[in-house]
Amino acid sequence: MTSPLLLTTISPGAIADEFLVWLVYLNRGTVQLQLLLVALVMLAEHRGILRRRVKHRLFPEYIRVLIGPLLLLFSAAAFSLVGLPWGLLRYFGLLWLGWMLFTPLKTLLLRINKKFPVEELESTFLRPVYVIVASISFVRLMGSMENLSQMPVANLFGVELTLGRIYLAIILIYTIFTLASRPATFLAWLSGVLLAVRPRNRRGLELLFRYSFIIIGIIGVAYYIGINGTAFIAIAGGLSVGIGFGVKEIISNFISSIWLLFEGSVRPGEILMINGDPCTVRKLGLRATQLKRGRDGAELLIPNQTFFTTEATSFTQTETSRRESVFVGAAYEHDPDIIIEILEDIAKSHKKVLEYPNVRAFMIDFADSSINYKLAFWVANPLDSFDVASDLRRTIWKRFEKEGISIPFPQRQVYPMEWPPTLQQSLHSTGGRGVVPQGEPPEAAGSSEESSGEANP
Amino acid sequence: MVVLLSTYLLAGCAISNRDGPIVLKVAQASNENEQNFLGRFESERRINNEYIQDLSEKQPDIRLHPSIIPAEKLEQELRVQTNSGLGPDLVIANSNQALSLLADGLTDPLKMTSELQKTISAEALKRVKTSDGSLAGQPVSQYIQLACFDKRKLAQAPKTLAELSSDSSHDKVFGMVLNMDDLYWSVGSFGAGEALAHSLADKKTTTAADKRLTNWLRWLKTASYQQNILFLRTQAALRAALISGEMSWISCWSNQLPQLRQALKEHLGVARLPDGTFGRATPITRLQVWALGKNSSKVQREESLKLMEFVVQPWAQKTYALKFRMAYPVNPAAAQIVNKQLPGGLAEFSEAEYLRITRGDRIVAAIQKSPILKDAIESTLSEIIFDGLSPEKATVQIKTQFKTKQ
C-alpha cells in the first residue's frame, strides 16, 4: 500500500473511528448531566443573564466575564461532594476561565507597563499554548492519548509518521519560528559588541542568524520524527521538480532574500530609491522586502527577486549622505556673482546641510526670461533632502525679496474672441496669411491665447 | 452549542440502541518495563487488534475499543477519566495493579458466581482477593518469566547457574535486567526468599536465611565480574541485544515472545530459567486481570460481565493460549489441554508453581507499591553489581530497606 518514495495516507479512518467512539460516553447519565449543566451555564452567559445579575461598580466587566467559568468550577466542587463525577465540569470550567483570563491579564500587564507588547504576547504565545494544552488535556480526558499519538497516519519516504509525531512536529516548528528571533537578536548584539559590527549591519546579521536557527530547527525536527538523510535527498529531488513547475517564484524570492542578506545590499534600515521616492527598508522577509515610502508613509512589499533583476538606487550602501539640488532663475539685470554668493550663503546657513562636501552654486543657463542657477548641497540623511530643499527654496525667495532680486516668469495675455470671427480677427490670428474656413470652430472655441512676451513682476 | 449538544445526545441514544454492537472501552496497562522505548506498544497493539477481531467474531454484540496505557501512568490516567465519568468499562492490568486500583476506588469489586469461580484456578483467584474477601478483578491469563536464547549461538539453554557460568566463559553472552522483578527468579536458586519475606513482614530472620541472602548477593557480584554476563536497565535493551546478536541468552517474559519470534523466527529458543544449588528457580508470574471500570452504563456493565465470563471458558482460554503462545491459561481444564503444545518453559509451568511463586509475588508487589522502596532496592543492587558494596553489607542494607519499607 505504501510506496517508499511517496507520501501515502495509511488510515485516516482509524482517527475518525477513535473520535466517533467518544460518542459512546453519551450513554452515561453522569456525562449527560455534566454536559447539560455546561450548556446551560454557557447559554445563560451568552444571553447575558449571569452578568446582568452582578452589575456593580466593584465588579468591572473583565471580572464579570469570569462568573460563568467560576460557576462551573463551583458546580464541579458540589458534584464532587455528593460523589458524582465532576471532571468534565472542571475541565470546561478551567478551559473557559483560561480563555476569559486573557482580558484581565492584558489589562494588568498594560497597567504595569503601557508599552508592553500585549497583543504580540497573546497571539504568538498565550493563545497557541492555550490551544495546545486544551487539545492535549481533552484527548487525555477521553482516554485516547496513547491511541491517537501512536496512530500511524502517513508514510513519508518509508518513514511511518504517527499522529503524535506530526502534532509534536507542528508544535516544535511553530515554537522554532516564534522564538528563533530571540537568540538571533542576542547573537547579533553579541557580534556587534565582540566584532564591532555596525548597528545597521546587525539587523541583517540578526536575520541571517534567525534563518539559520529555523533551518537547523526544521532539520532537527525532521530527524526527530524519523526522516533521515536519504529521505532528505528524496525530498530535495521532489522539491527540485516542484520548484521547476509550481513554486519557482517562491523559492526564487527566498534564495534572493538569503543572497541579499549575504551581499548586504538590501538590509533593514537601508534607504533605496523606488520610482524616484526614497524608501526605508523595514524588513527583509522570506518572499518580499517591506519598505516604507518617506513621501506618504505607504508600506511597499516588493518581491526580493526584483532587486536582482532591476536596478535600484541606494543612498546607504557605502555612504549615507546624499547630494540634492535646488534650481532658481534670476533676472538678467542682477550680477551672477552676487546671486551665487547669496545662494551659497543660504545653503551654508542651514543646519542639515553638510559642510563637507562643500556647498556649490552654478550658473547653468541663459534662458529666455532669466539666468538659471543651480544650488548643490549635501545632506547626511537621504530622507532629509526633500525637507532641506524645501527650506532652501523658501529662504531663497525671502532673501531675493529682501535683496530686491526678481525671479522672472513667463506671462500670458488672454483676449476674448467672437464667433464667427471678424475678418480683422481672422487676419490677426493667422498672422495675415490665411482665413479660418467658415463652419469649422477653432480648437479653443470662445477664446484665443496670445503670448505677449515676458514681463517683470 | 445547544444544537451541537442535541446532536451528540441523539447520537448517544443511537449508540445505546441494541440494534448495533455495544462499544466497550478497554484500558490496558502495558506491563513492559520499558521506559522511553518509542515503539513499546507496537507488539501489544498488534496482538490486541488480532485478539479483538477474534473476540468480535465470537461476540458480535460487543465491540471493544482498547487503549494501551503505560503501567506507570495507569492510576493517574484512570483517576482523571473516572472522575469525569469517562472511565473505561474494562481495565486490563496485573494482579497487583488491580488490587491497587480497587483500593483507590478506581474500579468496582467483582461479584463472581461460584460456578464461574470454579473455572478459574483457586490460586489465581487468591491473588486478586482483598483482605475483606472481595475480588479486584477476574484473572484471565498469566505471563511467565522465561529464558530466551538464540539457537544459533547456544544449542541448549543452561539448566543450572553453574552451567550458565560455564557457558559464559565460552564466549556466550548472557543478559539480565537490573531490578528485583526480573532478578527474583535467581532468589529461589539460593533460597534467599525467606530472609526477604521475613524482613518484609518485619520478623526476625535466621542466620541461615541471612546467609542464603548473602550467597545470592555474592552470586550477583561474581556474575557481574564475568565478562560475558551483562546487567542492563530495561527489557527492551535486552531484547534488542538478543535480536541484534550481541547476546546469546536473556531472561524474558512470555508476553514478549511474539516480538522475539517475529525477529528471530525458528532460531528463538525458549526454556526455563536455571536452577541453583539450593533449589529451583522462582520466576514470578504476572497475572493478567480484567477489572470493572466505575463509570459504565447498565448495558455496558452487563456486556462487560458477559465478555469476562466468555474469556475464561475452556474454549476461549485454549484458543487464545495456543494462538498467541505467550500466556498460560487460568482455567485448569484449558491448562491441561494446552500444556503439551506450549513452548518450552511455558509448558513446564503448572499449578504447583503457584505455591512457590506466592512469596515472590508478595515481595515484588510490596516493591512496586512503594516507589521509595523500589528505588532503594535498585540502588543497592546497582551498588553491589557496579560498585564496591560487599554482599554482607548489602544483606543488612536490603533487610533494613524491607523492614522500613524505604
Query: Which domain, by its residues, includes B104?
Result: 20-142+285-341
The whole-number pLDDT of residue B93 equals 92
B84 closest CB neighbour out of A141, A145, A147: A141
Instruction: Say if the ipTM goes beyond 0.85.
Output: no
Same domain, B99 and B209: no
CA distance B44 to chain A (A): 12
| pLDDT band, residue A76 (cuts 50/70/90) | very high
Backbone region of residue A269 per phi and psi (left: phi > 0; alpha: psi in -120 to 50; beta: other values): left
A32 closest CB neighbour out of B9, B45, B69: B9
Least confident of B48-62, B263-277, B340-354: B340-354
Best A47, A146, A163 member to test B by mutation, with max B CBs in 10 Å, is A146
Percent of chain B with pLDDT over 90: 39
CATH architecture of the domain A263-314 equals Roll (2.30)
Grid cell, residue A6, equals 511517496
Q: Identify whether B73 is part of a domain.
A: yes
The whole-number pLDDT of residue B54 equals 80
A280 closest CA partner among A305, A259, A264, A298? A298
Contacts of B72 in chain A (CB under 8 A): none
The whole-number pLDDT of residue A402 equals 93
Grid cell, residue B59, equals 461476540
Contact B297 A29 (CB under 8 A): yes
- CA A401 from chain centre, in angstroms, equals 47
pLDDT of B181 over the 60 cut:
yes
Best B9, B65, B82 member to test A by mutation, with max A CBs in 10 Å, is B65
Interatomic CA distance for residues A103 and A355, integer angstroms: 55
Question: What sign has the CA pseudo-torsion A263, A264, A268, A270?
Answer: negative
Nearest CA in chain A to B1: A39
The whole-number pLDDT of residue B18 equals 53
The whole-number pLDDT of residue B39 equals 55
Which chain A residues have any C-beta within 8 angstroms of a chain B C-beta?
21, 23-32, 34-36, 39, 42-43, 46, 85-88, 90-91, 140-147, 150
Contact A143 B300 (CB under 8 A): no
A150 closest CB neighbour out of B13, B27, B45: B45
pLDDT of B233 over the 80 cut:
yes
Same domain, B53 and B185: no
The whole-number pLDDT of residue A373 equals 95
pLDDT of B100 over the 70 cut:
yes
Contact B297 A141 (CB under 8 A): no
Same domain, B202 and B293: no
CATH architecture of the domain A322-407 equals 2-Layer Sandwich (3.30)
pLDDT of B44 over the 80 cut:
no
Non-local (6+) Cβ contacts of A377 within 8 A are: A323, A324, A325, A326, A347, A350, A353, A354, A359, A360, A388, A392
pLDDT of A457 over the 50 cut:
no
| pLDDT band, residue B354 (cuts 50/70/90) | low
Interatomic CA distance for residues B56 and B36, integer angstroms: 32
Q: What's the rounded mean pLDDT across residues B177-187?
A: 88
| pLDDT band, residue B351 (cuts 50/70/90) | low
The whole-number pLDDT of residue B7 equals 43
Contact A23 B12 (CB under 8 A): yes
The whole-number pLDDT of residue A42 equals 92
The whole-number pLDDT of residue B343 equals 63
B23 closest CB neighbour out of A21, A88, A140: A21
The whole-number pLDDT of residue B142 equals 86
Number of domains making up chain B: 2
Same domain, B251 and B107: no
B80 closest CB neighbour out of A31, A140, A146: A140
Q: Identify whether B87 is part of a domain.
A: yes
Same domain, B242 and B379: yes
A116 vs A418 pLDDT, higher one: A116
The whole-number pLDDT of residue A200 equals 63
Percent of chain A with pLDDT over 70: 84
The whole-number pLDDT of residue B252 equals 92
The whole-number pLDDT of residue A436 equals 44
pLDDT of A364 over the 90 cut:
yes
Nearest CA in chain B to A30: B85
The whole-number pLDDT of residue B352 equals 58
Nearest CA in chain A to B295: A28
Same domain, B297 and B378: no
A128 upstream amide cis, omega within 30 of 0: no
Q: What's the rounded mean pLDDT across residues A182-195?
A: 86
pLDDT of A434 over the 50 cut:
no
Last residue of a domain, one of B301, B317, B341: B341
Same domain, B236 and B371: yes
Give the count of Cβ contacts less than 8 A between chain A and B. 101
CA distance B9 to chain A (A): 6
Least confident of A274-283, A304-313, B13-22, B71-80: B13-22
| pLDDT band, residue B235 (cuts 50/70/90) | confident
Best A11, A21, A25 member to test B by mutation, with max B CBs in 10 Å, is A25
Least confident of B57-61, B199-203, B206-210, B319-323: B57-61
β pairing state of B249-253 and B174-177: parallel
Contacts of A29 in chain B (CB under 8 A): 297
B84 closest CB neighbour out of A27, A43, A87: A87
pLDDT of B5 over the 50 cut:
no
The whole-number pLDDT of residue A456 equals 39
| pLDDT band, residue A235 (cuts 50/70/90) | confident
Contacts of B70 in chain A (CB under 8 A): 146
Most confident stretch, A70-74, A103-107, B39-43: A70-74
Contacts of B108 in chain A (CB under 8 A): none
**String of b and e for B22-42 (b: at least 16 CB within 10 Å)?**
bbbbbbbbbbbbbeebeebbe
State chain B's mean pLDDT as an integer: 84
Residue A34 buriedness (CB in 10 A; 0-12 / 13-18 / 19+)? buried
Q: What's the rounded mean pLDDT across residues B370-398?
A: 89
Same domain, B326 and B214: no
Contact B8 A27 (CB under 8 A): no
Where in the sequence of chain A do the CATH 3.30.70.100 domains occur?
322-407
Nearest CA in chain B to A89: B84
A88 closest CB neighbour out of B25, B77, B85: B85
Same domain, B244 and B379: yes
The whole-number pLDDT of residue B276 equals 86
Best A23, A33, A72 member to test B by mutation, with max B CBs in 10 Å, is A23
| pLDDT band, residue A211 (cuts 50/70/90) | confident
Is B122 in contact with B334 (CB distance < 8 Å)?
no
Non-local (6+) Cβ contacts of A65 within 8 A are: A51, A100, A103
pLDDT of A439 over the 50 cut:
no
Contact A23 B11 (CB under 8 A): yes
| pLDDT band, residue A119 (cuts 50/70/90) | confident
Is A16 in contact with B5 (CB distance < 8 Å)?
no
The whole-number pLDDT of residue A401 equals 93
Same domain, B279 and B168: yes
Grid cell, residue A213, equals 536557527
Q: What's the rounded mean pLDDT across residues A384-394?
A: 91
Half-sphere exposure of B353 (CA within 13 A, CB side): 25
Is B128 in contact with B66 (CB distance < 8 Å)?
no
Contacts of B25 in chain A (CB under 8 A): 21, 24, 143
3-state helix, strand and coil shares in percent for chain B, rounded to the nearest 5: 55, 15, 30
CATH number (domain holding residue B137): 3.40.190.10
A39 closest CB neighbour out of B5, B67, B297: B5
Least confident of A162-171, A300-309, B328-337, B357-366: B357-366
pLDDT of A243 over the 80 cut:
no
The whole-number pLDDT of residue B328 equals 85
Same domain, B295 and B188: no
Interatomic CA distance for residues A137 and A140, integer angstroms: 5
Q: What's the rounded mean pLDDT across residues B149-176?
A: 91
Contact B68 A34 (CB under 8 A): no
Is A97 in contact with A73 (CB distance < 8 Å)?
yes
The whole-number pLDDT of residue A431 equals 55
Q: What's the rounded mean pLDDT across residues B259-288?
A: 87
Contact B12 A142 (CB under 8 A): no
Where in the sequence of chain A do the CATH 2.30.30.60 domains occur?
263-314
B84 closest CB neighbour out of A42, A88, A150: A88
The whole-number pLDDT of residue A310 equals 78
Report pLDDT digits (tens) over A19-71.
Answer: 888 988 988 999 999 999 999 999 988 888 777 766 666 667 777 778 889 99
Same domain, B85 and B38: yes
The whole-number pLDDT of residue B280 equals 83
The whole-number pLDDT of residue B281 equals 86
State chain A's mean pLDDT as an integer: 81
Report pLDDT digits (tens) over A298-333.
Answer: 888 988 888 877 777 776 666 667 788 999 999 999
B224 closest CA partner among B382, B358, B97? B382
